Structure 1
Amino acid sequence: MRVRKPLLKPARPEFSSGPCAKRPGWDLSQLKGAFVGRSHRHPDGQAKLRAVIAKSAQLLGLPPDYRVAVVPGSDTGAIEMAMWNLLGPLGVEVCCWENFGFTWLNDVVEQLRLPEVTVHRADAYGLLPDLTQVDFDHDVVFTWNGTTSGVCVPGADWIPEDRAGLTICDATSAIFGMEIDYTKLDVLTWSWQKALGGEGAHGMIAMSPAAVQRLAEFRPDRPLPKIFRLTRDGELMGEVFHGFTLNSPSMLAVEDALVALDWCAEAGGLPGMLARTRRNLDVVTRWVRASPHVEFLAEDPRTISSTSICLTFRHRVFEELSDPRQADFVRRVCDRIEENGAGFDIGSHREAPPGIRIWGGPTVDATDIELLLPWVDWAFSETLRESAPSPSSSRGLG
């Protein structure tokens, strides 16, 4: 039985997991107040950057004694900055269960070449490692949400209040979209391009008093690139946490971040963002429960991401394909959807198992996801008919 081609399409078919959809109602004219063509060192430029820092901290509800900065290189620059400045005096534990976690592991081992590294590795995409085995007498590096696997940590209960090491968390696809206990994180990093749909190339870093103390006391025995340096002549560069960026930022992107933060405040602040994200996941969850041909990549329901929602297909024909042919199958599904203007950039990450990934962060409207999903059903059905070895294999979606 063929699935009927849908008639309705999402009003905003952008579902990429980065850069992510712009906020509802976004228009380029909203950036007319940007401090462009001027020095970001000017007091007015500094005021814009300080406003990004202050509004971010206030909306997220960060502890008042955390230091926050705008840094270069998006979230990657922020997490690298943290690792290069802070890791070394203690052993390091790295938790990895998807592409970015493995990237930070590689940098710790191959670039920083730290001698004492313990790896907590998931057995496969869709799973978490055993977090009960993490030793917090060491520094711990992990992602809060695995953007490429759709698997997030189930809260912060596994992190003790009293710990000797620092917790360094890549939170970029969780921030503004998931509940996070910031007191359990000594460093958290994110970018504007994820949950708030801002522009890329700029990152944010927030540091607890313990992390700031480490900065003041620890002198890495490795060269630090200029754009990573947070100390000078043995002293903390405090101006970095007051809008004095380490390189020239795009003031157009800064303005876009400010407008996004204002939208966040108007849409209910952090509670409003979390509610929008939960609604998006609820839409997908209902669809998965009613669909015999799709399932979450995350195996434990407690770990299903509400932002980077990763799914895989279930069907004998699909499962009997080799990995390269499964990837080609998914590409054809996504191409069908994109050619009809019904959904862009929903293919899984190249390192993840073949499937689809729908960004469900707060800038995405639940109604658009509701309109996308019938297109996935239709495109899967059509691609299945093409791939089925015999007519009997193409009966329905199950």
Structure 2
Amino acid sequence: MRKFNFCAGPAALPQPVLEQAQRELLDWQGLGCSVMEVSHRSPEFVEVAERAEQDLRDLLSVPSNYKVLFLQGGATGQFSAVPWNLLGAGSSKAEFIHSGSWAAKAIKEARRYGEVNVVASSEDRNFSYAPAADSWQSSGDAAYFHYTPNETIGGVEFGYVPEVECPLVADMSSTILSQPIEVEKFGVIYAGAQKNIGPSGIAVALIRDDLLDRSLENIPRSLSWKVAAEAGSMDNTPPTFAWYLSGLVFQWLKGQGGVDAMAKQADAKSKMLYDFLDSSDFFSSPVEEGSRSRMNVPFVLADDRLDKQFLIESEEAGLLSLKGHRSVGGMRASLYNAVPMEAVEALVAFMADFEARKA
């Protein structure tokens, strides 16, 4: 019996996708072998790759002047790829909003290749909120402006898209495909797959065409967006199984009603959990109300001596991976697309019972 998985990543995958992959594992498309055993350049796999790209374009309404890339190295690889690809044409400055752990990692990497201007930070209140748009101002001379719309660890989500003069770059690893986005507002969108797209081992990037010729000299070939775009994301052997599974997730999302349907579900799931937290004297959210994430919900117990018991009992109840990130402690429930409403209902019921017994 499958349990309810609240892991922040690698995260839950849709059960129908896993079942299809299971059926096809040994004999894919009647070829007598697995999709993992065929050439990435075979007609059969090229069709998988092309359909995955088109389905992602359809889901996010990606304009024709954007390349859709399937890349290795996860979002962390893109922390390096972004400055490598964008700091070579004029300005060597990048601007950032520092909203938590993942923004910090992107900032640290960008500083290796150019000047970084942090225009706003929420460090003053332990990264418990998203800095307001009127609290900062871009200098106007940066090569790009980077932000993290959702901080997976801290559970902070931006309620707006920054308006800047330079290309806007967003790490959407934990929110992509959870709601409609206006791709045209961004120069670059990148995301690790292991939350709302598919398994770990692959990342997607949407790159506006005019940004493909701005790289630093001697950019590593494996990090070049231009090389990847010209090769159809196949300059070297790609992670074919992760690409195949991501494509199945895209098809599943279309069958569920696309990102509009996912947005409604995300709102309903997160509201149920936040409503419980706000009504409780035993559990609470450390995130300011206007910045709470729909995808990642951290929470703490009034008595942290009960943390270990909570985790033991929740796992026994079939509620997996509720331990908070090691850097912040507490608990965290990740509510990605593949986590059903029934999982949240079960979690809230368990928390209410635990409170009744332990408070």
Same fold by TM-score greater than 0.5: yes
Q: Secondary structure at the match of 2:298?
A: strand
Q: Secondary structure at the match of 1:310?
A: strand
2:60–2:183: 8 Å Cα contact kept in structure 1?
no
Question: Which residue of 2 is the match for residue 5 of structure 1?
Answer: none
Amino acid at match of 2:243: V
| Distance 1:224-1:342 versus aligned 2 partners, 3 A rule | same
CA offset at residue 173 of structure 1?
0.5
Task: Flag structure 2 segments of 5+ consecutive residues without an equivalent.
Answer: 29-33
**Aligned partners of 2:290 and 2:248: how far apart in 1?**
33
**Aligned partners of 1:30 and 1:271: how far apart in 2?**
29
2:193–2:199: 8 Å Cα contact kept in structure 1?
yes
Where does 1:252-267 land on structure 2 (aligned, <5 Å)? 252-267=241-256
| Distance 1:83-1:31 versus aligned 2 partners, 3 A rule | farther
- TM-score, normalising length: structure 2: 0.87
Q: Which one of 101, 104, 108 corresponds to residue 102 of structure 1?
A: 104
| Distance 1:371-1:11 versus aligned 2 partners, 3 A rule | farther
Amino acid at match of 1:13: F
CA offset at residue 201 of structure 1?
0.6
2:79–2:110: 8 Å Cα contact kept in structure 1?
no
Question: Which residue of 2 is the match for residue 203 of structure 1?
Answer: 203
2:174–2:295: 8 Å Cα contact kept in structure 1?
yes
Question: Which residue of 2 is the match for residue 150 of structure 1?
Answer: 155
Where does 1:127-276 land on structure 2 (aligned, <5 Å)? 127-132=129-134, 133-135=136-138, 137=140, 138=142, 139-156=144-161, 158-160=162-164, 163=165, 165-196=166-197, 198-208=198-208, 212-216=209-213, 218-221=214-217, 223-231=218-226, 238-240=229-231, 242=232, 244-276=233-265
String of CA shifts for 1:132-180, please: whole Å, max 9, x gaps: 3130622211111111111111122x414xx1x1111000101111343
1:85–1:230: 8 Å Cα contact kept in structure 2?
yes
Q: Which one of 359, 366, 370 corresponds to residue 345 of structure 2?
A: 370
Identity of aligned residues (%): 17
2:6–2:322: 8 Å Cα contact kept in structure 1?
yes
Q: Secondary structure at the match of 1:36?
A: helix
CA offset at residue 255 of structure 1?
2.1
The answer to whether the aligner puts 1:311 opposite 2:299 as a matched pair is: yes
Task: Name whichever of 56-65 and 99-108 sits farther off.
Answer: 56-65
1:31–1:256: 8 Å Cα contact kept in structure 2?
no
Question: Which residue of 1 is the match for residue 31 of structure 2?
Answer: none
Where does 1:2-41 land on structure 2 (aligned, <5 Å)? 12-25=3-16, 26-27=18-19, 28-32=21-25, 33=28, 35-41=35-41
Amino acid at match of 1:172: S
1:298–1:304: 8 Å Cα contact kept in structure 2?
yes
String of CA shifts for 1:322-351, please: whole Å, max 9, x gaps: xxxx4x65344223312x142111111122
**Aligned partners of 1:103 and 1:78: how far apart in 2?**
11
| Distance 1:31-1:121 versus aligned 2 partners, 3 A rule | farther
| Distance 1:102-1:380 versus aligned 2 partners, 3 A rule | farther
Question: Which residue of 1 is the match for residue 321 of structure 2?
Answer: 345
Higher radius of gyration, 1 or 2: 1
**Aligned partners of 1:31 and 1:256: how far apart in 2?**
11
**Aligned partners of 2:256 and 2:139: how far apart in 1?**
37
| Distance 1:23-1:72 versus aligned 2 partners, 3 A rule | same
RMSD: 2.4
